[in-house]
Amino acid sequence: MNKLSFNKIRLCAGSGYVQWLFSSKMLIYFAAMFFFYDYAALPLLNTADKVGTRLNLLEIFIAVGNSGMILLILPVLFIVLISGFPRLDGNSLFIVIRTGRLNWLIAQYLQLFYMAVTYLAALFLGTALPAVRQCGIFSGWSSVIPEYIRNSPEKRNSFVYELLPENLSNQLEFPKAFMYTVTLEFMYLMLIGSVMIIFGTLGKSKFGEAIAGGVVAAGTVLCAIKSKLMWSFPAANATLKLHFTQFLREPVFPLYRSYLYFSAAISVTMIAAFLLNKRNNYL
């Protein structure tokens, strides 16, 4: 039963993923897309019209991934959508026995990977597709924000400016900013899911969801008050713009440390899950 089988892992992960993808909880995500679009994309598009230039379509995702409000909503919504994961009801226990506990656990991480990728892909498509006709696609930053603040420096305190602040455009080339936003958000979701897998193997999924939600909330509050303790939580490490100031080249917190933070945290939680899974009696 403990023999590694890639076919069993693939089938188990695929089955769980398909059930999740077509669950009624996904309706919540579709509804949330309207909020994300209205909150981040629409203000930028309206500003682009006012200054007479085109927004880069990919800038919308960067704005969404670096918004203070969405910083809280995105991971909490992910927790809601994957609540009850991994499943360990009567039918699931039968699957564990048939698949083997090691294969089953690896399948949960593969399913988590599928869910995180789908979540981010749907977020990108849901906020970008409605804006396709109003945007361009090019390799650099658009001139929307520079034009917006050109004659009114006080606009640096505005909501629109905070969506795409100079912390990003002055410090990073556009392709790098997009790549970092995607990968850091992805690692954030993987860490959340990995924490939930630990408690799921113990049959305490609700407690795991509460722990994950508490970590998200605490990190978001610390980011809001700019406490140095925020770098101990995943929220700050996943938010690209917090790593830089507007003009100074020296980062507030080096990006490589955030990647090390997530790599170490995910590795530790995975090791803990494998140890608990080995000792746990599912029968």
* Percentage of the chain lying above the pLDDT 70 cut: 96
pLDDT at residue 90 tops 70: no
Handedness of CA 117, 121, 124, 126 (dihedral sign): negative
252 vs 95 pLDDT, higher one: 252
pLDDT at position 1: 47
Query: Could you give the CA distance from residue 150 to residue 47 in angstroms, rounded to a whole number?
Result: 13
pLDDT at residue 247 tops 90: no
pTM here is 0.93
**In which region does residue 138 sit, left (phi positive, over 0), alpha (psi from -120 to 50) or beta (all else)?**
beta
Q: How far is the CA of 50 from the CAs of 1, 20, 47, in angstroms?
A: 64, 42, 5
pLDDT at residue 126 tops 80: yes
Please write the tens of the pLDDT for every residue from 195-236. Answer: 999 998 888 889 999 999 999 999 999 999 989 999 999 999
Least confident of 122-126, 151-155, 242-246: 151-155
Within 10 angstroms of residue 171's Cβ, the number of other Cβ atoms is: 20
pLDDT at residue 153 tops 80: no
Query: Could you give the CA distance from residue 124 to residue 4 in angstroms, rounded to a whole number?
Result: 35
Tokens 């039918």 correspond to what residue? 91
Mean pLDDT for the chain?
Answer: 90
Query: Could you give the CA distance from residue 129 to residue 236 in angstroms, rounded to a whole number?
Result: 28
**Reported confidence tier of residue 92, pLDDT bands at 50, 70, 90:** low
Provide the residue ranges of all domains of the chain, joining segments of one domain with +. Answer: 6-279
pLDDT at position 23: 92
Question: By the 8 A CB rule, do 254 and 243 touch?
Answer: yes
